[in-house]
Chain A
Amino acid sequence: MPVITLPLTYLERLVGTGRERILERIPMFGADIERIEGDEAAVEFFANRPDLYCTEGVARALRGFLGIETGMPRYRVGRSGIRFTIDPGLREIRPYLGSAIIREVSFDEDSIASLMGLQEALHWAVGRGRRKVAIGIHDLDRVIPPFRYIASEPERSFIPLDFSEEMTMDEMLRRHPKGIEYAHLVRPFPKYPLIVDSRDNVLSFPPIINGELTRVTTDTRNVLLDTTGTDRRAVMTAVNIICTAFVETGARIESVTIGDEEVPSLEPDRRSVSVKECSGLLGIELTPEEMADCLHAMRYDAFPEEDRITVQIPCYRADIMHDWDLFEDVAIGFGYDHMAPVLPPTCTTGRPHAVMELESSVREIMAGLGYHEMVPFTLTNERVLYRKMGRETNPDVLRLMHPISEEQTVVRTDLLPLLMEALTLNLHRQLPQRIFATGDVVKGDRTHQTVAGVSMHRDANFSEIFATVDALCRELGLPYRTIESSDNAFLGGRRGDLIIGGEERGVFGEIHPAVLNAFGLEQPTAGFELDLRAVPGFPGRRGTPSPGLW
């Protein structure tokens, strides 16, 4: 979630109160103060509130929350008479365009930085890495309307931002840092999006880079905003958030004509909600007037009518999708710290899951046998699971499509190899070492449980581990039969398979010296693994949810 740097002196001026009061209340508004350094506070705001990704937006919200200025802010939009046309060739590439003219802007270095910060945060939160929305801000006085949003040949060239020479759009994708970063968004298309003015001067190559021509400086007085993207709602949200932030600094907004539509409107949305439903959800009895007060503090307009309230939602609040989204704001306006916790009357009895109970019993048995538990990771690799163990790769092993390291490429199918790995880590610890693990293994798409144990010391041998496995099976109520095993992880003539219910469910024996060598171990080691599906009634009385089945 974005961390926004708030210049405190500026924020105090915009909010109209001291920083102590602001910083004390910010957590209860729904934000996390990461740190305060000098005149700046770094505050994390939530992913659903992009309107708070700039100091101006935060100040607007806090004025309501602190009772300084409540109710919905209203915006006047003049008509600029400027037209912006969209090339139908963009329909499959990047079809949506939003725009606005922002007048009487007074930039300084700080406000340009703040604006860039908002732009970047919006690219992330609303734009999903510029795919859904990309934002361009231009010095309007450097170009001549009307403007055209066109699908251009990739060979077209202009001077991109931060460069001094012309290059083609294709070159930008190879050479410009932003081009390299976002090339994947346009590469699949034969033509690229481009914004030009009436004299064919290039303003922007969305979503990659603006032209140097319309760079915003402290001298800029009038701004042209363009937002392009693949999702109409997101494109308009970005326009609304940026325009209303500019208004907080004293600028004026004018609309642009796109097709037959005047953009933006900055008109509020409306929702009629039930007071009773809200009280019922929150567990606090609210009168319509009390609920309206809470909404005012959260910068809505609210008009109570009997049991319902008509709420006007400012255009920058893109997160209000459902009535409950408003009820949450009622709760925040009411104050989470004013809501008394109370236990629900729901009466139920606790019930453990059979699989977890089984694992608990296995732990009790193994601890009783003197073993210490390990909790190895479930992600591992084929080298540990199979190659070092002298075993064939399990055909059901589940491989990750995009592993993060060579150490973790598959999900474990067995626990015994991970215990061998654990012994390596404990090479210099006092002997004897007897360790076990129990838990999930995955084969194909199914998860089940096994238990494995190893005993390493000078006299570890077949008889010891056979006795251990025998005790474990007896304690689990598992009648078993043994046959000689052919598992290469163990020494020939000193290994057995456990046959339970006619199926091979476990293996035990002396670990093969070649395996000990592979793990860098120096002492005789005996080990076992038992599939807990062998336990009668597994996995217990409740079905296990699995993919595709319910």
Chain B
Amino acid sequence: MELTQNEKRLLAFLGERGEATPEETARALSGGEDAVIQHALLLQEKGLVDLQTTVVERYRLTPEGERYAAEGLPERQLLESFGERTELRLLTAHPLSSIAIGWMRKKGWIRIRNGIVEKTGMAPAGMDELALKDVAQGGEGARELARRGLATVDRETRYRISITEEGRKRLAEGLDLSEEVETLTRDLIVTGRWRDVKFRRFSVEKIPKRVFPGKSHPYQRLLEEMRQILLQMGFEEIYGDIVQTSFWNFDALFQPQDHPAREMQDTFYLDLYRPLPPGWEAVRETHETGGATSSTGWGGRWDPKRSEQCVLRTHTTTLTIQHLARHPQPPVKAFCIGRVYRREAIDPTHLPEFEQLEGVVMDRGVTFRHLLGILKEFYARMGFEDIRFRPGYFPYTEPSVEPEVWVEGLGWVELGGAGVFREEVTRPFGIMEPVLAWGLGVSRVAMIRLGLKDLRQLYRSDVDWVRESPIYMSMTKERGA
């Protein structure tokens, strides 16, 4: 059993004295009484000393009590102010009567009958009157005075520390009492005195106080990780505005104007209209007749007015197509991670805003199999080694594919969509080479990685969650472990 320096000193002192008060001990060991009691408690826990506690009451007269100590209690004064009997009427004129008459009756000193006050002849000095003379002695009389507000009481805890048999045995085994130093000071270092002192030992078993480094949000860290993967794979990052025209958000992607996704129920429309970019006629042409491609188009009439209304972007593909339209020459490899908006009520699997990740490869001679190759590589880098491809359907890609990854405990999980941009999308902007594209609901990956069941938790502003989430969480480690 390891004892601290202070505990050892206390035990040694008690070995000489047998028992002592904290005052004596503190004086002898030149320390504070509180510290002595603290150490004694610790030693008591180890069974080496016994700490006896007694509560002492100390009475003191109040100013009113002091006055009565000199003049006598009101009832005694009043009793002595008249003979054997008197009229109550006369007695009540006395200034002390309001206090004293009650007490005289209560103590049995007088009887009152028909307005006449008569002494009983029995009026011995009570405990209270004795206590009034020496209140410090305490006892029932002092308590009675305290109840009457004539005295106050201070309660004081007194300690008595004594050494136990166990303590004596420990002492007999010998104690090393050489000096222990808590803090390594500059002085100790420069003077070399550190050689002469013994440093207090610290417990390696005690749990340290928790401190937290400042850090990014766990979800943000995942987004950053994905961003780094794409940069490493040679992709250029795209960024852009949240507010987009329907033209760029829908029409440029060959979404028919009556497509359900364009309805007010699904998209956040804004009372904001912006002119169409030059060359918009090619988009109209493609919608109506297929334009320069082998497509039939959607038929019907395409209305430029509907295209001018702004929306909160419903996908990052709106940025991708603008990037490609500005860079129609191959090769282009670009990606974007950004927030997108859908008019959905909030529930465990839906939010009106969430992140989407999207990548494209446009180059001469790239093929659908190359798209599968990129998907396999990308998902593997994110820690999803097992991947399979299923046919899919997306309005602006053909052929389309739904990649699924194997997640332990969940099985095959659909993690996004991909495909080759339709010619109806690329040709109006003079993009002549195939565009391989894939998109990913990042939040789905984040939920799998962070072990969340409720999408809302991903965005929660919980300081403790940020504090407790470790910064290092390798994609592969998480799954492999």
Which A residues fall within an 8 A CB radius of B? 1, 27-30, 32, 46-49, 128-129, 131-132, 231, 233, 271, 280-284, 321-325, 327-328, 331-332, 336-337, 339-353, 355-356, 360, 363, 366-379, 398-402, 404-405, 408, 411, 421-422, 425-426, 429-430, 433-435, 440, 442, 445-447, 539, 542, 544-550
A548 and B241 contact, CB distance less than 8 A: no
B463 and A378 contact, CB distance less than 8 A: no
Say which size band chain B's interface belongs to: 35 or more
Could you say which residues of chain B place their CB within 8 Å of the CB of A48? Answer: 393
Other than the known A350-B234, A372-B212, what 8 A-B pairs have Cβ atoms closer than 8 Å?
Answer: A28-B390, A322-B293, A328-B399, A332-B391, A339-B389, A348-B234, A377-B351, A400-B270
Q: Which of A128, A342, A366 is in CB contact (< 8 Å) with B373?
A: A342
Could you say which residues of chain B place their CB within 8 Å of the CB of A550? Answer: 277, 322, 325-326
Q: From residue 332 to 368 of chain B, which have CB atoms closer than 8 A to chain A?
A: 332-333, 339, 341, 343-346, 351-353, 361, 363, 365-368
Pick 24 A–B contacts, CB within 8 A, sort by A.
Answer: A128-B260, A281-B367, A322-B293, A325-B398, A339-B368, A344-B361, A345-B363, A348-B236, A350-B236, A352-B227, A356-B239, A367-B214, A372-B212, A373-B220, A375-B217, A398-B243, A401-B264, A402-B268, A426-B463, A429-B464, A430-B464, A445-B241, A445-B310, A548-B277
B227 shortest CB reach to chain A, Å:
7
Could you say which residues of chain A place their CB within 8 Å of the CB of B414? Answer: 32
Q: From residue 262 to 282 of chain B, which have CB atoms closer than 8 A to chain A?
A: 264, 268-272, 274-277
- Contact of A352 with B464 at beta-carbon distance under 8 Å, contacts A283-B368, A332-B391, A343-B374 already known: no
Q: Judge if B384 is at the interface, Cβ distance under 8 Å.
A: no
> When chains A and B are docked, how far (Å) is the Cα of A422 from the Cα of B466?
13
B319 shortest CB reach to chain A, Å:
6
> When chains A and B are docked, how far (Å) is the Cα of A372 from the Cα of B325?
39
> When chains A and B are docked, how far (Å) is the Cα of A49 from the Cα of B400?
14
B401 and A336 contact, CB distance less than 8 A: yes
A547 and B389 contact, CB distance less than 8 A: no
Could you say which residues of chain B place their CB within 8 Å of the CB of A343? Answer: 370, 373-374, 377
Could you say which residues of chain B place their CB within 8 Å of the CB of A282? Answer: 367-369, 399
B268 and A400 contact, CB distance less than 8 A: yes
A344 and B363 contact, CB distance less than 8 A: yes
B424 and A322 contact, CB distance less than 8 A: yes
Among residues of B, the one whose C-beta sits closest to the C-beta of A340 is: B369
A549 and B343 contact, CB distance less than 8 A: no
Q: Judge if B388 is at the interface, Cβ distance under 8 Å.
A: yes
Q: Which of A1, A231, A322, A549 is in CB contact (< 8 Å) with B398?
A: A322
> When chains A and B are docked, how far (Å) is the Cα of A321 from the Cα of B395?
12
Could you say which residues of chain B place their CB within 8 Å of the CB of A405? Answer: 345-346
Could you say which residues of chain A place their CB within 8 Å of the CB of B353? Answer: 377-379
A351 and B231 contact, CB distance less than 8 A: yes
A46 and B344 contact, CB distance less than 8 A: no
Q: Judge if B11 is at the interface, Cβ distance under 8 Å.
A: no
Among residues of A, the one whose C-beta sits closest to the C-beta of B233 is: A350
A426 and B325 contact, CB distance less than 8 A: no
Among residues of B, the one whose C-beta sits closest to the C-beta of A449 is: B239
Q: Which of B236, B274, B424, B463 is in CB contact (< 8 Å) with A445?
A: B274
Q: Which of B233, B268, B290, B367 is in CB contact (< 8 Å) with A321?
A: B290
A547 and B274 contact, CB distance less than 8 A: yes
Q: Judge if B109 is at the interface, Cβ distance under 8 Å.
A: no
Could you say which residues of chain B place their CB within 8 Å of the CB of A539? Answer: 239
Interface centre among A27, A325, A360, A375 (most CB of B within 10 A): A375
